[in-house]
Structure 1
């Protein structure tokens, strides 16, 4: 199975942190594993580009525009 770069999971994280580290027995197990990883990636894993916040937390807060 080839997994190209995904915009929903930044860079190669999905491949290197999920796909390559696990041996999935069938497509169904692969789908479940990827779904668990995406949930982890968005809800538990901190991201340097988001100032060490988790995506779900970061995007849940409204953006406040500062008047100049």
Structure 2
């Protein structure tokens, strides 16, 4: 997060930082595929685990 967002953006205040990080977390969890998760997103993996649950 710090290297992909915080260090690359010069947020002028806390409100803009919260909005910017909110967008980044949404992208990270719902759009960005992760190699360690078989090129699925964390949201896809979570939904799959929830569907298989006890």
TM-score range, shorter chain: 0.7 to 0.9
Instruction: Give 5+ residue unaligned stretches, structure 1.
Output: 1-13
**2:49 counterpart of 1:56:** no
Q: Could you tell me the TM-score, scaled by structure 2's length?
A: 0.84
Instruction: Give 5+ residue unaligned stretches, structure 2.
Output: none
Runs of 4 or more off by more than 4 Å in structure 1?
none
How far is the alpha carbon of 1:35 from its aligned partner? 0.6
Q: Could you tell me the TM-score, scaled by structure 1's length?
A: 0.68
Map of 1:19 onto structure 2: 6
When the two chains are superposed, the root-mean-square deviation of aligned CA atoms in Å is 1.3
Aligned length: 51
Three-state SS of the structure 1 residue aligned to 2:8 is coil
2:18 to 25, 31, 46: 31
Which one has a larger percent helix, Structure 1 or Structure 2? Answer: 2
Greater gyration radius? 1
